[in-house]
Structure 1
Amino acid sequence: MTSHVDARPVTIITGGGRGIGRAIAERLAADGHDLLLTYRERAGDVEAVASGCRDAGARVEILQFDLADLDAAAEVVPEAVRRFGRVTGLVNNAGITGLIGPFLDGSIEESELVFRINVLAPMVLCRSAIAHMATDRGGQGGAIVNISSGAATHGAANTYIPYAASKAALNTMSMGLAKEFGPVGVRVNTVSPGTTRTEIHAAAGRPNAPDERAGNIPMRRPGEPHEIAGAVAYLLSPDASYTSGADILVTGGK
């Protein structure tokens, strides 16, 4: 007999301690998910998110690792299975932009790190998740949401071309995975935020970037993290049972 706890979705969220990851965690907890939240630093932030999600009725586990360490990334899904017994969802949210500025001002070393964190780490996590979820391997199916970017469609000239390229690669990977693993019960989609009010801009050296860009956005404002979380929640819900290979643009019309 399946218990109430066993019937709850179990979702991994990378970078679940702040920004869009925090908003996704709070929304999914409210929607009845149990969660594994990963983080690299600032343990206090992720502990605060976990506490709030537990207050909403979710079971929450926390795991610290560095996305740049691909061996560590390979252990995230198995660790979640050890703690929860299964995984039904994965949200590849964590990522970096690299420094904001002209293409020639950047270094190939920084671009390599952007691709390692934004493409290779999600690829490793998707491999592990699909191996666990796929019905032809004894799994019960599941859903993956990769957080991309509106920059993937316009190239982000003069801003962060390597970041845009990494997100375009993520989109292509997601499309291929959706086609290859749809027959064995795994849905794969992307959500592409536009400029959103998070700390990622400060980390890239432009803390005021969301407001600076507002005039070029049809809705004349940056997005808020909870607006991205709503799209992710839909893709992980039964309402999206026939949605795979899709990319939801949450870009204010841009």
Structure 2
Amino acid sequence: MPKVALITGGSRGIGAATARLAAERGYAVCFSYRHDEYAAEQVLQDVRALGGEALAVRADVCSEADVLRLFKHCGDAFGPPHALVNNAGILEAQTTVENMTADRLQRVFNINVIGSFLCAREAVRRMSTLSGGAGGAIVNVSSRAACLGSPNEYVDYAASKGAIDTLTIGLAKEVGGAGIRVNAVRPGVIHTDIHASGGEPDRVERIKSAIPMQRGGHAEEVARAILWLLSDEASYTTGSFIDVSGGR
């Protein structure tokens, strides 16, 4: 039986690239998406074209009921996950802290933080060798914004990713003795459509000169780091971070 990877936010960007690469590496892939059924179907077709097994589940990770349903569908189709990639995340239109509303902050933290906690909780319950599981690996998708702060753009997003960094460190220490490794990647400026959500689709081009490598990254480059952290090659790596940011 193939190993099972559960990826949140798998219909676009880094999540979709991770789903495709996981399938290439022999995982059965279950991924969640929120709205774009067409994009999810495209990823399913890509995975199946690679000879892999895939399942797409419409789920909002900040809904506990949806998270429970996501894990149930994954388990029913493929068995319990060996790998979780906490990738689902949002950002809102660029603005300063003085202009942020409570509704905006709740949306960002509900999906980026609470959603990651809920998915990590369900993964641990299924993976823990102390509860009869086979162990596993969790990779959280953070951001270099957690270190840089994203002033005048997305301080709330950056703060939510700072929480993901803390989750990574704390959870790694909690479950290290239960056969579960927990790590994170911190992407920098990556060519995905998340920038359009912030109101600036061409943001990568605007700031690429501030990146030591003088270019934006690609989702596939982040996916490779994620798959390494999930693999046995990273068997003694937990509570760690890989910055995929071109030196920024």
Contact 2:61 2:119 in 1 (8 A): no
**SS at 2:55 equivalent:** strand
**SS at 1:75 equivalent:** helix
| Alignment partner of 1:216 out of 196, 210, 227 | 210
What does residue 113 of structure 2 align with?
119
What does residue 142 of structure 1 align with?
136
Q: Which amino acid aligns with 2:4?
A: V
Task: Give the distance between the partners of 1:210 and 1:111, measured in 2 at CA.
Answer: 24
Task: Give the distance between the partners of 1:219 and 1:149, measured in 2 at CA.
Answer: 17
How do 1:198-217 residues align onto structure 2 when only pairs under 5 Å count?
198-217=192-211
1:177-219 residue CA offsets vs partner (Å, 9 max, x unmatched): 1011010100000000001110101012111111111011111
What does residue 44 of structure 2 align with?
50
What does residue 57 of structure 2 align with?
63
What does residue 172 of structure 2 align with?
178
Where in structure 1 are there 5+ consecutive unaligned residues?
Answer: 1-5
| Structure 1 residue 40 corresponds to structure 2 residue 34 | yes
Contact 2:4 2:79 in 1 (8 A): no
Deviation at 1:68, TM superposition (A): 3.2
- For structure 1, which segment, 113-122 or 74-83, has the greater mean C-alpha deviation from structure 2 after superposition? 74-83
TM-score by length of 1: 0.95
Q: Which amino acid aligns with 2:155?
A: I
Deviation at 1:67, TM superposition (A): 2.4
**SS at 1:37 equivalent:** strand
The percentage of aligned residue pairs carrying the same residue is 40
What does residue 250 of structure 1 align with?
244
- For structure 1, which segment, 213-222 or 123-132, has the greater mean C-alpha deviation from structure 2 after superposition? 213-222
| Alignment partner of 1:82 out of 69, 76, 79 | 76
| Alignment partner of 2:124 out of 127, 130, 141 | 130
Contact 1:76 1:125 in 2 (8 A): no
Task: Give the distance between the partners of 1:241 and 1:225, measured in 2 at CA.
Answer: 24
Task: Give the distance between the partners of 2:214 and 2:101, measured in 1 at CA.
Answer: 32
What does residue 24 of structure 1 align with?
18
Deviation at 1:74, TM superposition (A): 3.0
Q: CA RMSD in A?
A: 1.0
